[in-house]
Amino acid sequence: MGNAQSPAANPRFASATRAFTPHELDDLKSLFVSLATKSESNGQYVSLPVFQAFFELKGPLGERLFDLVTQKRKDGKLTFEDLVIAKSIYEKGTKDEIDEFIFQLLDVTDDSVLGRSDIESVLIAVLKSVFSLKVNEDGSSLCHDVANVFLNAATFSNDVQGSAEKSMSFEDFRVWSGLLPSVRKFLGSLLIPPEAGRPGSEVPHLVHGENIDPNLILLKKEYAWHIGGALSQHELEQWKLLYHSAVNGLSFNTFLGSVSNGEGPTVLIIKDKEDCINGGYASQPWDRHGDFYGDMKSFLFQLYPKASIFKPTGANNNVQWCAVNFSSESIPNGIGFGGRVNHFGLFLSASFDLGHTFTCTTFGSPPLSKTSHIIPEVIECWGVVQKGIQQEKQDALKGTVLERFKEDRHMLNMVGLANSSE
């Protein structure tokens, strides 16, 4: 009778659209139409199989993400409004909102109890996606052991009624994700298609000489991915092995000679007698100093039996240490990171046969090994090849030479000699 009214717009959707530019909304609409067409839904919705195939997220993690994006309706239909609302929270929201979304994402069983098995299944899904790891014939995952290394850094402090197993609290999650920036990056960008360069998927290309058995190398690709989570994009292209104790010997002077050839940052890795693998990212070259030096880009890390990264806290500037041929007891010869003299976060003596690791306020790190005093078995150091920066330097040098050539030509022209050979 003329009183019919169109249904009111979803207020959440109306609010969510304001997080995007018109161009971004157009792109989202085009994506939705494309996926809805593949879903054979007359353009009305995106189905779970199409969603999982496009974002390359199968299994519990993909199902859980679809459930959250569709606001837990359980109808198997992802609408355009769902997509915009989810992306506005998950990608455009505050840090707290994004963390809360990821925290819910980890609860793959949707029982409000975030247990060890939930986290393990998510980690296995992440590793399979990043490294395309497969499953054994008996159903066990080839990345199960690697997942446990990352899982070992987690804390589960919440009591669960009727169960001896504890669950992960929101605060536990925030601490854990801070220790694993690569995992946090990946889980925070699942609605970005892999082909678009999903953050958290970058793995540095590891280059080493043919004179070393790959089985002797400490830095596996999974560990490189873990360390790379704390670095910028241009530092994740290629890492080159500069020094390995199995090839070069446990020699401090050889180490310094090998690593001085590289201009960029380095990744120092140590395996000790306790089978613990840890190390540090040095943003500055290993040069002789009589005191601490470096900047806040450096950090400490653990790789095995648990994986963690410890960035500078700002408590002090005692970042990097490299002392050579000092005779004073107050200046211990060797290399290290953080802490204070004779009480470093990580230290290797110049003899390369002893070291130590203590609780460190510089990086907020605990002792990195099972004991404070360590005996290194294997030491290796990788150079971070910064191709983008190297190209900029080459271009700058090239530009300088060209400008100099132009100036020389100008001077020759002035005296009439520029074309004398023509």
Domains of the chain by start residue, with CATH: 12-196 (1.10.238.10), 206-386 (no CATH)
Residue 2 has pLDDT above 60, yes or no: no
Residue 341 has pLDDT above 70, yes or no: yes
pLDDT digits (tens, 9 = 90+) for 390-415: 444 444 444 544 444 444 444 334 33
Query: Looking at residue 8, what is its pLDDT?
Result: 52
Residue 7 has pLDDT above 70, yes or no: no
pLDDT, greater one: 2 or 170: 170
Query: Looking at residue 226, what is its pLDDT?
Result: 97
Query: Looking at residue 411, what is its pLDDT?
Result: 39
Query: Looking at residue 413, what is its pLDDT?
Result: 46
Residue 27 has pLDDT above 90, yes or no: yes
pLDDT digits (tens, 9 = 90+) for 192-209: 988 878 899 999 999 998
**For range 88-114, the mean pLDDT:** 95
Query: Looking at residue 385, what is its pLDDT?
Result: 94
Query: Looking at residue 133, what is its pLDDT?
Result: 60
Using the structure block, give the residue that is written with the tokens 């769902």: 82
**For range 36-40, the mean pLDDT:** 96
pLDDT digits (tens, 9 = 90+) for 223-268: 999 999 999 999 999 999 999 999 999 999 999 999 986 678 999 9
Residue 134 has pLDDT above 90, yes or no: no
Name the pTM for this structure. Answer: 0.86
Query: Looking at residue 211, what is its pLDDT?
Result: 86
pLDDT digits (tens, 9 = 90+) for 267-297: 999 999 999 999 999 999 999 999 999 999 9
Residue 139 has pLDDT above 50, yes or no: no
**For range 105-117, the mean pLDDT:** 93
